Homo-oligomer: A and B are copies of this chain.
Amino acid sequence: MRKPANTVELKIDSGRDQPRQKLLTAARQVFAEVGFRAATVREICARAEQNVAAVNYHFGDKFGLYAETLKHETVFNEEMADRELGALAPKEALRTFIVRVFRSFGSADRPAFYTQVMMHELAAPSEGLSAVLDQVIRPRVQVLEKIVGLLIELPPAHPKTRLCVLSITGQIAHYVNSRALISSIWPEWKLNSEDLNEVANHIADYSLAALQTVKRDFSQAASRTRKTR
C-alpha cells in the first residue's frame, strides 16, 4: 500500500479496474437511496463485493467516492440540446424540453441517479451540491430562460422571466421531490412513464397558456400593486 490515491491518477488501463467501477456503481445506488450522510461505506462495499478498506484505498475517503460518483455521470450534451431546441418554434421547444426532462428522470420504479441525489442534497446539503448544480441545473435553467424569454418577449434575465422559469421548473420538480407524497395521496396514480408523459404535456399546455397571458398583460401594466388582504 503505497500510493493510496488522492492524486486522481488517470488510469487509462481501464480494462482492469473492476473494483473501482463496482464501487462506483454500488455507491451511486446507495447515495441515490439514502444520500451522502446516511450512506455507509460498509453497505457500499458489501454491494460491490469489496472489502471495507477499498473505498479509502481507491478514493481516499467517503467523500472522494461521492465526488467521483457525481463527476462520472456528467456526459450531458447541453450544446446539442440547445442547438436542437433553438431550431424549433419556441412553443414546441418548451414542450420538448419538458418532455425530455421528464424522460431523464427515469421511470417511477427506477428514478435517475442525479434526480435522487439532488433531493438529498437539497434537504441536507453537502459539498456535492454545487457540483450537481453547475453540471446539471444551471445549463438547463439557461436554456429555459432563453425559451421563456422568447415566449413572453422579455429578456432572459428579466425578473418576470425568472418567475416564469421557476413556475415551470417548480411544476416539473414537484413530480420528483414529492413523488412519495403524491403516491400517498392518490394511491391509484401509478406514475409510470406513460403517465409522466401525460403530465409533461399537461405542464406544457398549462404553462404555454399562462405565458401567453403574461406576454399580453405584462408589457403595459408592469407595476401593478396588488393588495393581499
What residues of chain A have their CB less than 8 Å away from a CB belonging to chain B?
34-35, 37-38, 95-96, 99, 119-120, 122-125, 129-130, 133, 137-138, 141, 160, 162-164, 166-167, 169-175, 177-178, 180-182, 184-186, 189, 197, 199-203, 205-207, 209-210, 212-214, 217, 226, 228-229
With a cutoff of 8 Å between Cβ atoms, the chain B residues found around residue A203 in the complex are 167
- The number of times this chain is found in the oligomer is 2
The main secondary structure of chain A at its interface with chain B is helix
With a cutoff of 8 Å between Cβ atoms, the chain B residues found around residue A172 in the complex are 170
- Say yes or no: A169-B174 contact (C-beta < 8 A), given A122-B119, A228-B96: yes
Closest beta carbon of chain B to A134's beta carbon, Å: 10
Select from chain B the residue with minimum beta-carbon distance to A125: B180
Rounded to whole angstroms, the CA-CA distance of A203 and B210 in the bound complex is 10
With a cutoff of 8 Å between Cβ atoms, the chain B residues found around residue A96 in the complex are 228-229
Asked if A199 and B163 make an inter-chain contact with CB atoms under 8 angstroms apart, the answer reads yes
- Say yes or no: A167-B171 contact (C-beta < 8 A), given A96-B229, A213-B209, A214-B206: yes
Rounded to whole angstroms, the CA-CA distance of A142 and B202 in the bound complex is 20
In the complex, which of the residues B123, B130, B199 contacts A120, with contact meaning CB atoms closer than 8 Å?
B123
Asked if B226 and A185 make an inter-chain contact with CB atoms under 8 angstroms apart, the answer reads no
Asked if A178 and B173 make an inter-chain contact with CB atoms under 8 angstroms apart, the answer reads yes
Select from chain B the residue with minimum beta-carbon distance to A100: B228
Closest beta carbon of chain B to A185's beta carbon, Å: 6
Asked if B184 and A200 make an inter-chain contact with CB atoms under 8 angstroms apart, the answer reads no
26 cross-chain CB contacts under 8 A: A38-B124, A95-B228, A96-B228, A96-B229, A99-B228, A122-B180, A122-B181, A123-B124, A125-B180, A160-B202, A163-B199, A163-B202, A164-B206, A166-B182, A167-B203, A170-B178, A173-B173, A201-B226, A205-B213, A205-B214, A205-B217, A209-B209, A209-B210, A209-B213, A209-B217, A210-B210
